[in-house]
Amino acid sequence: MKGLSHLQLCLTQNYAKLREILAALYGWVEDQKRVKILRGFKKYPLNIYGPVTGEIKGITDQKHIFHGLKTCEEVLTILKNTRVLLNSVGVFSGGSHERIWFSIASGCMPYTDPSSFVEETYINEESILTIDYKDIPNSVAKIIHYSETPDLLQPIVNKAQTIYIENHTWVKRIENTFMEMNII
């Protein structure tokens, strides 16, 4: 018992430093994944939104278009006018990012990280498009093909929207949460 108490004391004293190290490591891993994807788009220019500019210049030989930060209203308008959204957020290995729902609701197909939730809910290339990190060149080629061929992409978007409407709107998610909590 004395050893366990000492271990707990060491962890408590070093928790902030450990958390800082893990956050830095996580950030590095996420950056490596994003660089790998961006290199896959080396011959295809992208429109990039958000505070990212210098971090990815030189990763590809394309001149990407950087738009900076946008308001929520602007983002929704952009999504309505976008065919495919690149969404790389690996922190949700068991869940999903809100961008998936916003893009599907707007008629835009997310090209996103696979997760256990996404794989249980959707079928790749049937109702969603997931990033295959083991074969980025082939995965990116498929996404480019879908984005350039709306007739192929639209049925996937339609299936994704049906699943979204039936299961994942805010109202549905609140209902499911209340049911899990035995409130309704």
Mean pLDDT of each 10-residue bin along the chain, 184 residues long: 58 75 81 83 82 65 77 90 84 69 92 87 93 91 93 97 89 85 82
Domain ranges of the chain: 1-69, 70-184
Q: What is the pLDDT of residue 4?
A: 58
Q: Which fold has domain 70-184?
A: Rossmann fold (3.40.50)
Distance CA 74, CA 77 (A): 5
Closest Cα to residue 64, out of 80, 74, 53, 55?
Answer: 53
Q: What is the pLDDT of residue 26?
A: 80
Residue tagged 């990763």 (tokens): 59
Closest Cα to residue 36, out of 134, 151, 160?
Answer: 134
Question: Looking only at Cα atoms, what is the longest distance across the chain?
Answer: 67
- Token output for 183: 């409130």
Q: What is the pLDDT of residue 52?
A: 66
